[in-house]
Amino acid sequence: MNKTSKTKLAIVNFFPIPSVKKAKYKITKYYQSFDYLYELTNHYDIQVFDRIGKTVCFNYKKVTFNYFRAFFKSKLIIPIKQFLAIKRFKPDIVFIDGLGYPHFIVLLKIMLDASTRFIVRDHADRLPRKTLEPLYKLADRYVESYLFTAKEMGKEWVDRNIIKSEDKILECVEGSTKFSYLENGIKLPSHFLWVGRLDKNKDPLTILEAFSEYVKTDKKAILKMIFDSDILFETVKSTIKKNKLESNVILIGKVPHADIEHYFRESTFFILGSYKEGGPFSLIEAMACGCIPIVTNIPAFKKMLDNGRFGFMYSPGNSEELKQILFHLKKQDLDFQRKEVLHWFDKELSNKAIAEKIKQLD
């Protein structure tokens, strides 16, 4: 690398979405995963290499986006044009989204300069089948670092020796948000917000069970539920009816993403009951808007809340623990908690914070 020039950073996504035909669709729809890049342009020469339903190249906020036409979603098809474009760029660092492409890492290692460094970011990826482990272990020889929301999330990968050492795992969330706290806004007391699918993993039923007890002591408490997948919708409705929560639980359903900011800004608490998460943007958005989180103590949440310093945590599926948290909320200094949450967001979960962590990889 020429010491007078910027470090060349290639952001590579091998997962194709052939149905996407608009050039800027992904950076608009999934902006949370891209906006931290614009904080890095003074430090890096950045190019994104991705696959959608058309071939197009454009520059946006000093980042060059290269999209290559994909016809299928198969991992067995080698995206040769994407590979050759990466090779022409001559990157110093290749930053790959997702752990599911070890064969492409090996091929890129062969194609690129020997000094090229490889960083891989986890997307709550599943462990590979045993028969594929040798390929993953081969790719691991060429990967310098892995980014997980929490080190604990990479433990199984290390235990199975797919990732050689825990020292290769760095902690960093996948993205952040444009949502923000309204300094002169009004937080509605005893207002809770749910944003997530109505399914077994998110576990709305445990939350409703605990909330049904809590409203007996706080009849003005309101839980608003925003969701775009309604697998448990009928069960949730019947649970609300059974516990006479019609005045306390509002099923909002699907809301345009930009409009969700309003609900975050007015809510005092954000609540979620997940059994597994990679680091959901809904929690990041809630904290950016000054909501105090009440979530499960799974690895991603523990890291995002610094083991409960910046919110409240309970065991997945444990309505009794959740009830105890809810019953003790009136004893909390909520203004102080909110300030602490906002400070933690800026320090650890914002786009600037992510950018600083990426720069530390140099």
Domains recognised in the chain with CATH numbers? 7-177+351-359 (3.40.50.2000), 188-349 (3.40.50.2000)
Residues 6+ apart with CB under 8 A from 307: 313
Which residues share a beta bridge with 47? 10, 64
For the chain, the straight-line distance linking the first and the last C-alpha, in angstroms and rounded, comes to: 13
Residue of 40, 5, 10 lying closest to 113 (CA atoms)? 10
- Could you give the CA distance from residue 70 to residue 234 in angstroms, rounded to a whole number? 38
Secondary structure of residue 52 in the 3-state scheme: strand
Block means of pLDDT (10 residues each) for the chain, 362 residues, are 77 96 95 96 97 97 97 88 98 97 97 97 94 97 97 96 97 96 93 97 97 96 94 96 97 96 98 93 98 97 96 98 96 95 98 96 84
- Could you give the CA distance from residue 210 to residue 217 in angstroms, rounded to a whole number? 12
pLDDT of 54 reads: 96
Secondary structure of residue 42 in the 3-state scheme: coil
Please report which helix (H) or strand (E) contains residue 212, including its range.
helix 204-214
User: With left for phi above 0 and alpha for psi between -120 and 50, is residue 308 left, alpha or beta?
Assistant: left
- Could you give the CA distance from residue 161 to residue 168 in angstroms, rounded to a whole number? 12
Residue type at position 35? D
- Could you give the CA distance from residue 330 to residue 332 in angstroms, rounded to a whole number? 6
pLDDT of 142 reads: 98
pLDDT of 4 reads: 56
- Could you give the CA distance from residue 122 to residue 172 in angstroms, rounded to a whole number? 10
pLDDT of 3 reads: 52
Residue 196 — φ and ψ, nearest 5°?
Answer: 165, 170
Whole-structure pTM value: 0.93
